[in-house]
Structures are given as structure tokens and as C-alpha cells.
A and B are shown apart, each in its own frame.
Chain A
Amino acid sequence: MLNSLSPCELQTGGFCFENSHRNAVFESSLSEAGYKAPKARKTGTTIAGLVYKDGVILGADTRATDDMVVADKNCMKIHYIAPKIYCCGAGVAADAEITTQVMSSNVELHMLNTGRPPLVAMVTRQLKQMLFRYQGHVGSSLIVGGVDVTGAHLYSVYPHGSYDKLPFLTMGSGAAAAVSVFEDRFKPNMELKEAKQLVRDAIAAGIFCDLGSGSNVDLCVITEAGVEHLRGYDKPNAKGKREGNYRYKPGTTAVLTKTVTPLSLHVVNESVQIMDTE
């Protein structure tokens, strides 16, 4: 019966693997021509979360790597999902980013639909259903944490769709380094100061001991009262001070030809955005 379906028609249920076939053909033809298929950028990463007395604290490092070269020295890995639910993402950078954005959008719609604030368990369930549907091809490992009407909760969701509900969790390439710190010093119902220091130390362990993680520690403290997103909570790695001066004088780059075309434009709006030149 199914053999009569044309390959273009979507099968009901499950994931359509047509693109995998196309990708395989594409990759083999690229390698014949001597090119490599573009590799998805992974974040390397150390992410962690723990439940303390008043809520949940999420932590993440800020390095994004392209194979073994640092692509972004200060990227954001703690993503907003709902006013009191945040998500740390590890694995393929684009997958983590898009998955959390899709979740955030779904949660907003769900809130409007039900008229109720979202539950962390609801976010986790939607995430795991989506990731399982893609059979692990969406390579994002996530730690979802937040406070809802039932209390403070922390879940980890794996790329194939499994999840764990635990008082403390770590994921990413630096997970082993971070979890060792947690296993040593975690206690239930810790105070805020001690808990922040512990998450900071766990992420720092990942930053220094794992080559895929680095730069700064970002924290996100979520309580009943609200959220404190501490971007750049700790910056244990300053760039070395260069002694020489590497500015180029105007005229250093050879100008071969010069053509000036004046454009008559009106300035409608002017906005300044500071670049991160560190």
C-alpha cells in the first residue's frame, strides 16, 4: 500500500528523512569535487544548574568553538523561555538557540491558550517530544530550570529526547569537571550566597579543565520573586596585556584605484551599538 505513495508526499507521523538522503548525495558530490561539507558549530561548553533554598540557579561558560578554534569568546548560553523559566543549551549552537526560541514561542501561546503561567514540566515535555521526533539529529543538550506554581524545578533534556529531574545537573563537554565540584559540595536547601559560589566554582572547573569551555561565567538566579540574569558574573580570564602598538597608519593598505560615487541620502534614524572588541 505504502509503496504506491510518491516519495514527495509526507508520511503521516514520524520524521521525514528525505533530507538525510539529499545530504548524503550532496556530501559525496562535494567530496568528489574536493570540498568539505560545512560542519555545524558546536558550543563545547559547560552548563550547570542546581536547586537551592529559594529557587534555581543556572550557570554557563561563554565560549563557542568551531572545531578547536574559538569562534565566540563571549556568547550567551542561558536562554529565556518564560518569565521565570530559563534554559541553558549545549551541543550544536544553532540547534540550542532555535530549539529554545521555538519553545519560548510555544510557551507563550500555551499561556494564552490556558490562561495559566507555564510549568517547567510542561516546557520539558514539549522539548523532549520535539527532540525525540527528530531522533537525535537536533543536537541540543539542554538544562531547563525555573520556578512555577508548584515550586522550583530543574530538568536536563538530551538530544535523543530523554530527560532527568534532579537537584543538580551538568551538561556539555565540561560536564565531568563541573559535576565533580557539585558532588563534593552540594547540599539540599543551600543559602543563596553559598549556592551562587558553588555554581560559579563548578563552571570555573569546566572553564579551566575543559578545552571546549572558557572565558566567563554567566549565572541566572530564578526565585519566586523574579529572575536575576547575571551576565559576566565572573571573568576569571582577562586577555593578556600587549606591549606593542599594532595600529596601522592611514595609507598602509595599497590603494590601486579609487572611484567616488556620491549618494544623496537623508539621515532618518541613527543608533549606536557598541562592538565587543575585546
Chain B
Amino acid sequence: MLSAQTFGDPGKMKEYHYTGPVEHRFSPYAFNGGTVLAVAGEDFAIVASDTRLSEGYSIHSRDSPKCYKLTDTTVLGCSGFHGDCLTLTKIIDARLKMYKHSNNKTMTSGAIAAMLSTILYGRRFFPYYVYNIIGGLDEEGRGAVYSFDPVGSYQRDTYKAGGSASAMLQPLLDNQIGFKNMEGVQHVPLTQDKAVQLVKDVFISAAERDVYTGDALRICVITKEGINEQTIALRKD
């Protein structure tokens, strides 16, 4: 009687036997999706994120923005594992308060970025599974964007996309804001209106192709007047 054999000798049945105790690993992380984006201008900064929270093939929430206001001039966008995003923002809020109470002044964007880097590296061997991007105004009032990896490596950028659709958005931003891979194009400085329009358009494209991005887009525009928030609808499928 022929049985379905795999790649043993033909005619011999595959042997099934107990291999001893099998370790089932529990993963402490989950991937909750989401995309964040930050752009720095001459006197403004924009931090935008989608508002979908997902896990596997399901949606947990259609209204869970990933932009967190830290100070009047700084917004943090974090995506990745939502549990770590929540804890990290709580820790940053506490540290901001401590700084305010001991130094009698609000932390600047650059200082927050440096602090976040040390907080993240403190967990080098059990990282926060979070992709962070800070957007804000520096001490001179110019727009600043700082992008991080999960263990704290950071640098100051003009624009950066992070999260699930980052690989789709970053080349588009390189082309439209950085004027890369183009010839004979005038390098006009980015105005606030053009930047907001660009952010909306790139997220529309991201929602088309990335299943984790969609539902709504939250845009935070940071200027010396304060932080202006707007919400735009995106594809819900």
C-alpha cells in the first residue's frame, strides 16, 4: 500500500515520534501598523499620521492617531507596537515635567530628541518596538524634524516618513521635497500650504497600496502661533 511520502526513501513510511519537550515562544511584541510623516519648513513643521490601529488582518480602531503633543512647539509621531507607544509617551511626558520643574523652562525640540535617544537606548536589550519621528520648531524658530530607529539612533532631517508605508512614502518625498532624481527643476522653498497639500496627497497614495494605512489622516501644523490640528478622511477598506 503506497502512502504519501515526502522525501524519504520510496516505500518507507515517514516516522512520527515524540521529539521531547517543545518550547513554544511567546512574543512580547505585536505589530499595530500605522504610518507617520514629518516635514520641516522655514518657520513651520508638520507632523502627520494615519489613525488606523490594526493587528493581523483586523482593525482595532479607526480613530487612534499617532501624533502626541509634547510641548507647544513639539509633536511626536510614533508607530509600531501600540503598547510601547503608549508607555513611551507616558515616560516622555513625565520626563518633560521633571525637566520643567528642575530647570524652570520647557524642553526644546533638540533637547527632547537627545533625551528620547537615551531613553530608547536604555532599553537596548529589550527595545521599545516604536518608530519615532519628532517634529517641531528649534530655538531659532525654524522647522526641525528628528527621526529615530527603535534603539535610539537619531538625526535631524528636513523630512522623514516612518511606519508601515514608510518605504512607499520616503522616495516620493525625496522627489517632491528634496527634488532628487530630477533635472532642470527650480528648487523653490517649501511653503506651508504646499507642504500640507503634499502630505495629504502622499497619504492618499499610501492608503491605496498599504493595507495598514487608511481610515483618516491627522495633520498637526506647528508654527510660532501654536499647534493647528486637522483631520482628513482616507480610504476605509
**Contact between chains at B58 and A21 (CB < 8 Å):** no
Could you mark each residue 221-233 of chain B with 1 if its beta carbon is under 8 Å from any beta carbon of chain A, else 0?
0000000000001
Other-chain residue from A14, A24, A69, A237 in contact with B237 (beta carbon distance below 8 A)? A237
Contacts of B201 in A (CB 8 A): 242-244, 246
Do most interface residues of chain A lie in helix, strand or loop, or is the interface mixed?
A: loop
Given contacts A63-B237, A237-B235, A251-B184, contact A21 B4 (CB under 8 A): no
**What is the distance, in angstroms, from B138's C-beta to the closest C-beta of chain A?**
27
The answer to whether A131 has its CB under 8 Å from any CB of chain B is no
Give the interface residue-count category, chain B: 35 or more
**Contact between chains at A3 and B208 (CB < 8 Å):** no
**Contact between chains at A239 and B208 (CB < 8 Å):** yes
Which of A108-116, A140-148, A207-215 faces chain B? A207-215
Contacts of B119 in A (CB 8 A): none
Contacts of A207 in B (CB 8 A): 237
The answer to whether A274 has its CB under 8 Å from any CB of chain B is no
The answer to whether B117 has its CB under 8 Å from any CB of chain A is no
Contacts of B181 in A (CB 8 A): 253
Contacts of A249 in B (CB 8 A): 184-185
Most buried by A among B4, B57, B58, B201: B57
**Contact between chains at A208 and B182 (CB < 8 Å):** no
Could you mark each residue 6-25 of chain A with 1 if its beta carbon is under 8 Å from any beta carbon of chain B, else 0?
01000111110110110010
What is the chain A residue whose CB lies nearest that of B183? A254
**What is the distance, in angstroms, from B129's C-beta to the closest C-beta of chain A?**
17
What is the chain A residue whose CB lies nearest that of B212? A68
Could you mark each residue 1-22 of chain B with 1 if its beta carbon is under 8 Å from any beta carbon of chain A, else 0?
0111111011100000000000
Do most interface residues of chain B lie in helix, strand or loop, or is the interface mixed?
A: loop
The answer to whether B204 has its CB under 8 Å from any CB of chain A is yes
**What is the distance, in angstroms, from A3's C-beta to the closest C-beta of chain B?**
6
Contacts of B5 in A (CB 8 A): 17
**What is the distance, in angstroms, from B2's C-beta to the closest C-beta of chain A?**
6
**Contact between chains at B4 and A135 (CB < 8 Å):** yes
**What is the distance, in angstroms, from A254's C-beta to the closest C-beta of chain B?**
5
A97 to B78, CA, bound (A): 40
Which residues in B have some Cβ–Cβ distance to A below 8 Å?
2-7, 9-11, 54, 56-59, 164, 176, 181-185, 194, 197-198, 200-201, 204-205, 207-212, 233-237
For the complex with contacts A21-B6, A210-B57, A243-B197, 10 further pairs of A-B residues with Cβ separation under 8 Å are A11-B2, A20-B7, A65-B211, A73-B208, A208-B236, A208-B237, A239-B208, A240-B207, A242-B200, A251-B183
Offer 14 A-B interface pairs, CB within 8 angstroms, sorted by A.
Answer: A2-B11, A15-B4, A70-B211, A173-B57, A208-B236, A209-B58, A211-B57, A214-B211, A237-B236, A237-B237, A240-B200, A241-B204, A251-B183, A252-B184
